[in-house]
Amino acid sequence: MEENFDLLVIGGGPGGYVCAIRGAQLGLKTACVESRGTLGGTCLNVGCIPSKSLLNLSELYHKAKTNFANLGIETGNVKLNLEKIMMNKNKSVQVLTKGVEFLFKKNKVTYIKGKAVIFSKNNVVVYENGKKTSYNAKNIVIATGSSSTSLPGVKIDETDIISSTGAISLKKVPSKLVIIGGGYIGLEMGSVWSRLGAEVTVIEFLDHITPGMDKEISKEFQKILTKQGIKFKLDCKVISVKKSKQGLQVDYINNKKGTKEKIECEKVLVSVGRKPYTEGLNLSKIGVNKDEKGSIKVNEKLQTSIKNIYAIGDVIKGPMLAHKAEEEGIAVAETIAGQAGHVNYNVIPGVIYTSPEVASVGSTEEQLKEKKISYKVGKFPFLANSRAKVNNEAEGFVKILADSSTDKILGVHIIGPHCGDMIAEMALAMEFGASAEDVARTCHAHPTHTEAIKEAALAVDKRPIHF
């Protein structure tokens, strides 16, 4: 006999498992189907979590090798044990995936392993080890995430030409690594392998890195990464990657010069974005509509063209961020349970976990100019922040954009230490419609990095104290 559920979630990544837990908390009989064999999706298994482990460990190694002696910490001959670093990373992932399984048990979510196919608006069949099991569901949520994309002439084999999945599991440090794409993932992984000893070159099609980021921040970011040893070839189009004597040869066109150029390397990381993963779900047969880019079309309640089938996370439009998917997962579960589910897409922060970190929330200067919104700017450098100074991490600045007439905060952009954590204060401020004056009049503990936020808010009105 077929088991019946109020809510069946397809995909156990950040959006899917959060949606399932919230649904169960609200009294819905809930199941979550995952084909990977472990919960947590790309983010936890082969994405944001293992990459953050490598970012942290590579930074510690780099500091021990290059900085510690100058600070009076003499460590002797610092050696890299890549195998142990990878073991540490894998252990962290294992602990966290088991943690999600525990949360399922705690909240009485049924965990179903296998590949889901939707046969009708209320019927899902799961295939696992040659067995198929049919389930009925009043509501279905598609949360199947995304997969890496490549370029014509560049075939990912996860051995020499790798995606981010391959980049977190290399067995040795490549002598030369070429990264195609200057976005978040490429620059994070470039930082990891550069710190561990690789010569890293980034080839980007645009004339700047980090598309969509505030241009002033992007410029400063590139300057800092260049100082760290990462090379950039901007405004260049990759044509092909082929085997060579040295390992690989990347052929590209320099758009500015109009010349064909090449670079030899040991490994190539393809980091040109991701695409929605909806393969095998049977969407076109049941009538769930997608747009020209393969994203599932949804309304403001995240319903697809079939009202009891919802979609969240990377399979729909918007930034492919784990926390965006989580917010959508909670909103959908609450909507299904009869509550007012809500996502404020204007206040979703983005972070790049390099050193220094880069974080932003809200509009960039370029976007405000495009919308013809009049704004004021307040900036404060970490060079003038006492905590950053004593910690020898004084690169970067805080930038606040506020409405010229109302003083309402419209966007915040930070490059500097720990700003991935600091941005939460500004997301909260924006969620509650705060002005720059509100933040400027909020007492910040001394000495902390967050004082730079208060000073930038004061600078909106041209009255910073320490700069």
318-348 pLDDT per residue, tens = 999 999 999 999 999 999 999 999 999 999 9
Report the C-alpha gap between 465 and 278 in whole angstroms. 53
> Which tokens belong to 424?
């939460």
Percent of the chain with pLDDT strictly greater than 70: 100
Q: Write the CATH number of the domain with boundaries 347-460.
A: 3.30.390.30
Query: pLDDT at residue 139 above 80?
Result: yes
- Residue ranges of the domains in the chain? 3-148+275-343, 161-272, 347-460
Q: Please answer whether residues 374 and 406 qualify as being in contact, where contact means their C-beta atoms are separated by less than 8 angstroms.
A: no
pLDDT of residue 2: 85
Question: How confident is the model at residue 337, as a pLDDT?
Answer: 98
Cβ distance 24 to 107 under 8 Å?
A: yes
Fold match, 3-148+275-343 / 347-460? no
Per-residue pLDDT band for 188 (boundaries 50, 70, 90) equals very high
Q: What does the pLDDT read at residue 360? A: 98
What confidence tens digit (pLDDT) does each residue in 387-400 have?
A: 999 999 999 999 99
Q: Which fold has domain 3-148+275-343?
A: FAD/NAD(P)-binding domain (3.50.50)
How far, in Å, CA of 273 to CA of 181, rounded? 8
Residue 1 has pLDDT above 90, yes or no: no
Task: Look up tokens 């799961």; give the residue.
Answer: 126
Question: Is residue 6 predicted with pLDDT exceeding 90?
Answer: yes
Three-state SS letters, the chain:
CCEEEEEEEECCCHHHHHHHHHHHHCCCCEEEEECCCCCCHHHHHHCHHHHHHHHHHHHHHHHHHHCHHHHCCCCCCCCCCHHHHHHHHHHHHHHHHHHHHHHHHHCCCEEEECEEEEEECCEEEEEECCEEEEEEEEEEEECCCEEECCECCECCCCCCEECHHHHCCCCCCCCEEEEECCCHHHHHHHHHHHHCCCEEEEECCCCCCCCCCCHHHHHHHHHHHHHCCCEEECCEEEEEEEEECCEEEEEEEECCCCEEEEEEECEEEECCCEEECCCCCCHHHHCCCECCCCCECCCCCCECCCCCEEECHHHCCCCCCHHHHHHHHHHHHHHHCCCCCCCCHHHCCEEECCCCEEEEEECCHHHHHHCCCCEEEEEEEHHHCHHHHHCCCCCCEEEEEEECCCCEEEEEEEEECCHHHHHHHHHHHHHCCCEHHHHHCCCCCCCCCCHHHHHHHHHHCCCCCCC
Residue 71 contacts by C-beta under 8 Å, 6 or more apart in sequence? Answer: 392
The rounded percent of the chain whose pLDDT value lies above 90 is: 98
- Reported pTM: 0.96
Measure the CA–CA gap between 398 and 461, rounded to whole angstroms: 15
Q: Which amino acid is at 384?
A: A
**Looking at residue 353, what is its pLDDT?**
98
Please report the pLDDT score of residue 241 as a whole number.
97
Residue positions annotated with a catalytic role: 446
- Top-level class of domain 161-272: alpha beta
Q: What is the mean pLDDT of the chain?
A: 97
153 — pLDDT class (breaks 50, 70, 90): confident
What does the pLDDT read at residue 244? 85
CA distance 324 to 345: 8
pLDDT tens digit sequence for 212-224:
999 999 999 999 9
d(CA 343, CA 427) in angstroms, rounded, equals 13
Please say if the pLDDT value at position 20 is more than 90. Answer: yes
Q: Which of 191, 125, 190 is nearest to 162 (CA)?
A: 190
**Could you read off the pLDDT of 278-295 as tens digits, one per residue?**
999 999 999 999 999 999
215: nearest Cα among 375, 356, 366: 366
